Chains A and B, each alone.
Chain A
Amino acid sequence: MTLEDALGLYSYWIVIFLMMTGFYIVISGKNLIKTIIGLNIFQTSVFLLYITMGKVQGGTAPILRDGGGHSDHHGEGHNHGGEHGEAIHQGSEHGSVVVDHAVQQASFTEDVIATVGEAAAHSGAEYQGVLYTNPLPSVLMLTAIVVGIATTALALALIVRIREEYGTIEEDEILAIDRKSDS
């Protein structure tokens, strides 16, 4: 791997760095709030992973302005990640099988679905000369962010209750109190 390749994957390095940082905080943190923050960072890194995979340089939001017709020419996915390039490339070929199939159906809805699907299936698609970015990962991440917020909120609520009961949010102190009450 040349230096250029390594740098070209910078978004992944960021993801991995964030992931490891978050994970380390979760494992090492004795303060419950810090643990939860670590968990947050950990989750955020995954959001980034998804978003970088969906982004197409120079691509725009996939909004279809008019219906009808179809393009015979499918845009090659502008992939972002070096290592996964080959797999994505192959994926694209299979995507076209799907699209061809849709063409035979020659129905408008099918076509639109197929094209949107195509866009979703790759890092982006060109439709009638416009390059679109893949919307699906962003949409997925919206859901994941909601999940993440719910998790954090629940965790914080639990910590509030723990603090009410034990008067501390340091895990080793809580465990010490528990051990004391056991014996």
Chain B
Amino acid sequence: MIDQLPILLIIIPLFAAPLLVLLGSRHLALPISLAVVWSVFGISVALLCRVIQNGPIGYELGGWPSPYGIVYVIDYLSSFVMMFVSALGAIVLTYAPPSIKQEIPFSKHYLFYACYLLCLTGLLGMCITGDLFNVFVFLEISSLSSYALISLGKTRRAPLAALHYLIFGTIGATFFLIGIGLLYQMTGTLNMADIGRRLSEVRAERLLAGLTQFSRTELVAFAFMTVGLSIKMAVFPLHTWLPNAYAYAPSVVTGFIAATATKVSVYAFIRLVYGIFTPNFAFETMPLDTALMIFSLIGIFVASVAAIYQTDVKRLLAYSSVAQIGYMLLGISMSNVDGLTAGIVHMFNHALIKGGLFMVVGCFALRLGSVKLDDLRGAGKTMPLTSLAWVIGGLGLIGVPMTAGFISKWLLLTAALEHDWWPVAVLMLLSSLLAVVYVWRVVELLYFSEPSDKAKRAKEAPALMLIPTYIVIAATVVFGCWTVYSAGLAQKAALALLAITESGIAPGGTP
């Protein structure tokens, strides 16, 4: 049973979702899906513990040996990402009932839960699999279900936002598919570790044969896959789908997707760069580090400034998400231990912070019926706990010490200095001041303005929503002071990734 945990992680939510639809019960859906998400969380924690104790785990589906069969690879990085994805998936779903009761018609509730579970399956699958085509399949599972989830939004703009996301997302996924095809054509395998190994062999032979080290196929494949994933990661300037999708989706969905979906795409990107192509190829042959640095920094500034001018808290946070992705990519593109650690840990920290903040916004949406800044005026008086949660989460987003945001910012800063990227270090710090502006704008509205009509009538959010919100918000503080299981794990993951690059041996290739 213990050995089968990796597959259970995927199978349970994957089968629960159609079960919910087949049952069609509006009352059973919630308990079943809660049981599923929490057991998934339990499994991923168990996997993480096993990885910490015994090192990476490889799991061969159906007993077919790698590289012919599909393998699941659970190493530091994947178990870490799965842990926080399933944790947020579980906690957001626990928080969900009051909010979706208000925002989604009751008759559609079981469909919502089914889509939610599918989306979670897809995200976890992308993390766990060691097979490149499998990544595509899971990517599409999570994307399709998230399009459906977004379209459940209350306003009539939700379907259009979902459709835009669908078009962008499909183009991105198809680009990714083209890249996979080219790689397969070149190496004849789909196992990621195997592709990486064969690519390095091909390179060595090409050098011997007096050719350029990298074939054109490889370059094209890499380009397609990077652009495809960049769309899913919402890297500036490919982020245009994100603000509307986040803004018009139901609050719960926004919380879940914002906390997890883009992070998992970043994870896939890390795998792509460090597991398949080498950083040497990506950052030295291809000028991807410079490109990422430029786009990240422009993205950070443009998106932060855009966030300042939003009139709707959800859009404000959405733009902030675009900016924060930039920080992750900055770290990843430094390709040293500190930078990679910073990028990975920021995935985790930002998932907590942004998940928590969107949960706060969900509380406001529930009580105020709106997330417009004008309607939030003075809500600090009638909803003090919710407002306080915003302040703490906001401090995390700014990166004040004792919050999780500081940890990632500090690591990123030291990594940038180690890399001698002075301008990056300075710009990064300056850009985080923009976060002060957009977070504090809301804080001032909450506490210093005359209450709006809606805020006057509002009362504190129900405990069922406040408690999960505060768990996540408290986690941002806890992981700002105690980082053994955030930065510590991220560092181990980074070391493992860089070790692959150096030795050319990937875990899971020969489990």
Contact = CB atoms under 8 A, between A and B. Distances in A.
Interface stretch (A2-10, A65-73, A147-155): A147-155
Given A91-B198, A166-B156, A53 B166 contact: no
Interface in A104-160: 113, 116-117, 120-122, 136-137, 140, 143-144, 147, 150-151, 154-155, 158-159
B162 interface: yes
A30 interface: no
A117 B163 contact: no
A62 interface: no
Nearest to A114: B68
Interface in B180-209: 181, 184-190, 198, 201-202, 205
A95 B188 contact: yes
A150 B185 CA distance: 26
Interface string A10-44: 00000000000001001000001001100100110
Contact of A165 (B159, B184, B187): B159
Nearest to B177: A46
A144 B166 contact: no
A147 B189 contact: no
Contact of A120 (B65, B68, B147, B178): B68
* Of B173, B184, B198, most A-chain CB atoms within 10 Å: B184
Contacts of B184: 53, 136-137
A17 to B, nearest CB: 15
A42 B217 contact: no
Contacts of B186: 84, 87-88, 91
Nearest to B164: A171
B140 interface: yes
A117 B137 contact: no
A86 interface: yes
Interface in B270-312: none
Contacts of A151: 140, 144, 166, 170
A105 B140 CA distance: 38
Contacts of A81: 185
Contacts of B144: 147, 150-151, 154
Contacts of B215: 86-87
A49 B205 contact: no
A158 B159 contact: yes
B163 A158 contact: yes
A101 to B, nearest CB: 11
A162 B160 CA distance: 7
* Highest count of chain B CB atoms <10 Å: which of A136, A140, A147, A150: A147
B157 interface: yes
B163 A155 contact: yes
Interface in A69-99: 81, 83-84, 86-88, 90-92, 94-95
Given A49-B178, A154-B147, A161-B151, A91 B68 contact: no
B167 interface: yes
A174 interface: yes
Q: Which of B166, B174, B188 has the most CB of A within 10 A?
A: B188
Contacts of B147: 154, 158
B185 A39 contact: no
A178 interface: yes
Contacts of A95: 188
Contacts of B140: 147, 150-151
Contacts of A140: 133
Most chain A CB atoms below 10 A, which of B136, B177, B187, B205: B177
Contacts of B65: 113
Contact of A122 (B68, B156, B188, B190): B188
Contact of B67 (A26, A39, A117, A178): A117
A158 B166 contact: yes
B289 to A, nearest CB: 26
B317 interface: no
A83 B217 contact: yes
B68 A113 contact: yes
B64 interface: yes
Contacts of A42: 171, 174
A59 B171 CA distance: 33
Contacts of B189: 120-121
Given A35-B167, A49-B178, A94-B201, A154 B188 contact: no
Given A84-B186, A155-B166, A162-B163, A26 B171 contact: yes
B282 to A, nearest CB: 19
Interface in A161-177: 161-162, 165-166, 174
Nearest to A116: B68
Contacts of A90: 201-202, 205
27 contacts: A26-B171, A43-B174, A46-B174, A46-B177, A50-B181, A53-B185, A83-B216, A87-B185, A87-B202, A87-B215, A88-B185, A90-B202, A91-B187, A116-B68, A121-B188, A136-B184, A137-B181, A137-B184, A143-B133, A147-B140, A147-B144, A151-B170, A154-B166, A158-B159, A166-B156, A174-B160, A178-B157
The 9 closest A-B pairs by CB, nearest first: A121-B188, A165-B156, A117-B68, A87-B186, A161-B159, A91-B188, A147-B140, A158-B163, A158-B159
Given A26-B171, A87-B186, 5 more contacts: A91-B187, A137-B181, A150-B140, A155-B166, A158-B151
Interface of A: 23, 26, 32, 35-36, 39, 42-43, 46, 49-50, 53, 81, 83-84, 86-88, 90-92, 94-95, 113, 116-117, 120-122, 136-137, 140, 143-144, 147, 150-151, 154-155, 158-159, 161-162, 165-166, 174, 178
